[in-house]
Amino acid sequence: MITALDHIAIAVPDLQKAIERFVEDFQLPLGGTEDVVEAKTKAAFLPLPPTSIELIHPLNDEGPVKTYLEKRGGGIHHLCFRSDDIEADVARLKEKGYQFLSDAPSPGAHNSLVIFIHPKSADGVLIELNQPADEH
C-alpha cells in the first residue's frame, strides 16, 4: 500500500550550490548526504515533514542523472511514494500494465528497497516506490 509522498527529487548540476539554496534561502534543515552507489548518484536530503526534498547529482560523473542533466539541465527528476509492501505494490501495478525500469526492487538510499515506474506509464513522470529499511 502507498502510505506517503516520501520525497521529491530534483536533479542539480551543482550540489553544493543547491544545498545552500535550500538551507539558506528556503531555510530547510540539511538532513544529510549519501553516495547512492547503486543509482550512481550523490544525494542530499532536506526533510520537510511529512515529506522531504532530495537533491541528486551524478556520482563520479556518470549514470542516469548525468544523462538527465545533459539533456535537460536541472529539474524535477522524480516523485517517490513510500510503500509498506513494495512487492505487493509492484505486483498490483504490473497487473495493471505499468512498466518498471527494473524487474525487481533493489537497494536505494538509507538501505531502503526501491524500484522506478517508467515515465511512459505515468504521463511522463518518473515515479519511485520505496520501502524503508525498517519495514522490510
Catalytic residue among 20, 54, 87, 128: 128
Q: Smallest distance, Å, CB 55 to Co ion?
A: 10
Q: Which residues bind Co ion (CB under 5 A)?
A: 9, 80, 128
CA distances from 45 to 22, 40, 82, 95, 102 (A): 10, 16, 15, 33, 24
What are 70's three cell numbers? Answer: 545533459
Q: Smallest distance, Å, CB 114 to Co ion?
A: 7
- Sign, CA torsion 9/132/82/123: positive
Q: Smallest distance, Å, CB 111 to Co ion?
A: 14
Torsion from C-alpha of 56, 58, 59, 63, nearest 10 degrees:
120
Q: Which is nearer to Co ion, 12 or 80 (CB)?
A: 80
Q: Which is nearer to Co ion, 62 or 97 (CB)?
A: 62
Q: Is 128 a catalytic residue?
A: yes
What are 23's three cell numbers? Answer: 538551507
For the annotated catalytic residues, the residue numbers are 128
